[in-house]
Structure 1
């Protein structure tokens, strides 16, 4: 309904829908330029992993109760090391996921592969001292992310839903 042929990431969004990674919103929209929240991103990653059988054994994060819509998916991500949450014991499920954290989630989902980040940064706004430098550079090296045309990555910007579909589509093709 709100994704049209010719939109920048239309093919990626259609792929994500066809793979069951996203279901969109109940009103039939996808809301492509809306930031994706941390809980929904984890649900996408869980579905991309094939929705593995998993039974949570407790509550890892103080702000993700068993009644949370994505409790199972978030607990799965915690159990696999994809997410560690915040130092205060929260996950902050309804907070938009920043692009740097998204890179960390995908890198960990890939098994934290051995990767030596380049000495010279690929992006003008992500220096070697950045907390997620290695993960962002890994995304660049695999083609999962190309950054922006101005040479930036914009690590603290929220990840929009359309870009997330593109990242996951590219991620699914690593090694193919």
Structure 2
């Protein structure tokens, strides 16, 4: 029996990874941060600690962008760093008389900030989500680990190619279950690495830095049915799928709102880029061809590397279509596959 698939990076079912950025809501407290706002608890916690504050009109403006100097101040207060004002500025665009000078220099001294290659910090620029990841990971003391990372970013997002190479490691760590300083934008299933980070997103990231996720604990899930089998191929019961979702993995995943995103694959086949096409087959019927680009570094639960061609063909032909396993309730859609081709070890057609 084939072993359960897991990714090289540990995956935990943590609901907060899928936090959404909803539209405007209204309730007590800040009049623009309702009781059901996705980051309300984190905002309230940081306000109570004096790390962040609202505006005189009773708003928090959670969707407003945060500048790089504003975030430097936030992180210094959160980490209880005193302002530091050296006689010689580190950055040529952050002089001693700038309001944020002491905070930026304190963050530099702590190793959180490095600035740009031209010697600037660009304090008034909005901090992007990938910059937020880089800075946040440094604050957590994992900067070296992020810089040593090689390969494609490990994120379940349709826009992972937009992540800059210098931020690939930091963004990967930012989504790791034991860190979680970034959330996905579920509407499109994206990371949006170059988008300006909002006040709510920065509050969420800082909260996760000062109150990191805790390992362990127990989750109890009640369901009305008991599955008649635990292997996916042996039953069609939804009760089994609810359980299997905790230990199985697949080429693509579905966010709670229905948006699809890559998982073991690096793409969700689509018409736009030609990875999903239809054509007339030799029988005159409409056929479909899909192309998956497969993620490197995927392993079975016992640490053995996945051999995509060997293991996928085993699952399709030796399990579902062999006729040797009587418990299989349905071979659909595998019996509709004409052929599976691997032009190279990491491309499946």
- TM-score band, normalised by the shorter chain? 0.7 to 0.9
Report the 3-state secondary structure (helix = DSSP H, G, I; strand = E; otherwise coil) of the residue aligned with 2:166: coil
Q: Give the Cα–Cα distance (whole angstroms) in 2 for the partners of residues 166 and 118 of structure 1.
A: 27
Q: Which runs of 4+ in 1 moved over 6 A?
A: none
Corresponding position of 1:160: 198
Corresponding position of 1:62: 92
Identify the structure with the greater helix proportion: 1
Shift of 1:7: 2.0
- Aligned counterpart in structure 1 of residue 158 of structure 2, from 117, 124, 129: 124
Q: Give the Cα–Cα distance (whole angstroms) in 2 for the partners of residues 158 and 120 of structure 1.
A: 19
- Aligned counterpart in structure 1 of residue 62 of structure 2, from 9, 13, 32: 32
Q: Give the Cα–Cα distance (whole angstroms) in 1 for the partners of residues 70 and 51 of structure 2.
A: 10
Q: Give the Cα–Cα distance (whole angstroms) in 2 for the partners of residues 156 and 119 of structure 1.
A: 17
Identify the structure with the greater strand proportion: 2
* Unmatched runs of 5 consecutive residues or more in structure 2: 1-29, 215-349
Report the 3-state secondary structure (helix = DSSP H, G, I; strand = E; otherwise coil) of the residue aligned with 1:147: coil
Alignment of 1:80-95 (within 5 A): 80-95=110-125
Change in CA separation of 1:53 and 1:175 when aligned onto 2, cut-off 3 Å: farther
Verify: 1:73 aligned to 2:106, yes or no: no
- 1:147 and 1:153 in contact (8 A); partners too: yes
User: How big is each residue's C-alpha offset from its partner over 1:47-70, in whole Å with a ceiling of 9 and x where there is no partner?
Assistant: 111134644342111111222111
Verify: 1:172 aligned to 2:205, yes or no: no
Change in CA separation of 1:24 and 1:63 when aligned onto 2, cut-off 3 Å: farther
Shift of 1:93: 0.9
- 2:81 and 2:106 in contact (8 A); partners too: no
Corresponding position of 1:51: 81
Alignment of 1:90-109 (within 5 A): 90-109=120-139
Change in CA separation of 1:9 and 1:152 when aligned onto 2, cut-off 3 Å: same
Verify: 1:16 aligned to 2:54, yes or no: no
Find the structure with the greater CA-based Rg: 2
Q: Give the Cα–Cα distance (whole angstroms) in 1 for the partners of residues 108 and 60 of structure 2.
A: 27
Aligned length: 176
Change in CA separation of 1:60 and 1:12 when aligned onto 2, cut-off 3 Å: same
- 2:150 and 2:169 in contact (8 A); partners too: yes
Shift of 1:42: 0.6
Change in CA separation of 1:34 and 1:3 when aligned onto 2, cut-off 3 Å: same
- TM-score normalised per structure 1: 0.87
- TM-score normalised per structure 2: 0.46
RMSD: 2.3
Q: Give the Cα–Cα distance (whole angstroms) in 1 for the partners of residues 83 and 73 of structure 2.
A: 14
- 1:99 and 1:155 in contact (8 A); partners too: yes
